[in-house]
Amino acid sequence: MTDLNGKTVLITGASRGIGAASAEAFAAAGANVVLVARSEGAITEIAGRIGKTALAVPCDVSRFGDVEAAVKAAVDTFGRLDVLVNNAGVIEPIARMADSDPDTWGHALDINVKGVYHGMRAALPVMLGAGGGTVLTVSSSAAHGPVEGWSHYCTSKAGAAMLTRMLDTEYRASGVRAMGLSPGTVATQMQREIKASGINPVSRLEWSDHIPPEWVAKALVWMCGPDADAHLGEELALRDPGLRARLGLSA
């Protein structure tokens, strides 16, 4: 496992699913973890389970001030910020475009795109001041192809993927390591929401078709180490058998 002793990791969307599993995985790798989400009770419970190396910060990533305050809390508590995991995202409301609500469609982009930008923007001054850091963004194959009923999600994930490429283009030379991870379908609450919609082929997958969130967490921890340096600026796909084998994952 990648050794992250003494490092500090901030994870958005940390109240459940990939975010919660990532908090546990990064803590197991020796890192201080800052759990960020709107669900204060859930992140407080997870942080309490991890112990003194965890901090829960209620935050709405669609508001830059909230994210900036979370980064400040991380630095005030642990003295540094080494890794940002942009994980927060929403799939609801799933609807074909003619049936979609403009306000909720736009709010999904506020979280899925602006939330990623807010994380990057808030973390950059700290990371640049320290000589570098790692920014990992949870992406999706939806960033690269249309999926019926997901115009908001596909559009927002495409935007987030471009933000990763922009961050790499502008700041790799300054020591910032930017990468994306497309995990495939994961056994989380989001998949239950997709299943309930019944709109597209993804909604018809069985629960056993999805990978556990712990696999994604393991990949994110690995991406913080030097073995992943060959992939800077790229989006890794956890569907790739070669990557799964490298991480010791099997299905």
Average pLDDT over residues 32-47: 96
Average pLDDT for the chain: 92
What is residue 251's predicted lDDT score, i.e. its pLDDT? 54
What is residue 57's predicted lDDT score, i.e. its pLDDT? 98
Give the position of tokens 């994930």.
Answer: 157
For the chain, which residues make up each domain, given as ranges? 8-89+107-184+213-247
Helix (H) or strand (E) holding 13: none
Report d(CA 236, CA 211) in Å as an integer: 16
Q: Output the CA–CA distances (angstroms, integers) from residue 45 to 42, 60, 85, in the order listed.
A: 5, 18, 20
Average pLDDT over residues 122-149: 94
- pLDDT bracket for residue 4 (50, 70, 90): very high
More confident: 199 or 162: 162
Q: Which residues, including other chains, have CB under 8 Å from residue 166's CB and lie 6 or more apart?
A: none
3-state secondary structure of 146: coil
- pLDDT bracket for residue 93 (50, 70, 90): confident
- pLDDT bracket for residue 91 (50, 70, 90): confident
3-state secondary structure of 94: coil
Segment among 93-97, 146-150, 153-157, 201-205 with least mean pLDDT: 201-205
What is residue 205's predicted lDDT score, i.e. its pLDDT? 64
What is the pTM assigned to this prediction? 0.92
Q: Is the pLDDT of residue 92 over 90?
A: no
For residue 49 the two structure tokens come to 């389970």
- pLDDT bracket for residue 187 (50, 70, 90): low
User: Is the omega angle on the peptide bond into residue 58 within 30 degrees of 0, that is, cis?
Assistant: no
| Beta strand pairing call for 8-12 and 32-37 | parallel
The contacts found for 45-52 with CB under 8 angstroms, 24 or more apart, are: 46/14, 46/15, 46/20, 47/23, 50/23, 50/24, 51/27
What is residue 212's predicted lDDT score, i.e. its pLDDT? 86
What is residue 70's predicted lDDT score, i.e. its pLDDT? 98
More confident: 79 or 142: 79
Which tens digits make up the pLDDT trace of 203-223?
A: 776 666 677 889 899 999 999
Sequence letter at residue 114: K
Q: Is the pLDDT of residue 1 over 70?
A: no
Q: Which of 177, 79, 68, 66 is nearest to 132 (CA)?
A: 177
For residue 227 the two structure tokens come to 């073995």
Ramachandran bin of 226, using left for φ above 0, alpha for ψ from -120 to 50, beta for the remaining angles: alpha
CA 86, chain centre distance (Å) = 3
CATH class of this structure's domain 8-89+107-184+213-247: alpha beta
State the catalytic residues. Answer: 153, 157
Report d(CA 20, CA 15) in Å as an integer: 6
Report d(CA 85, CA 23) in Å as an integer: 10
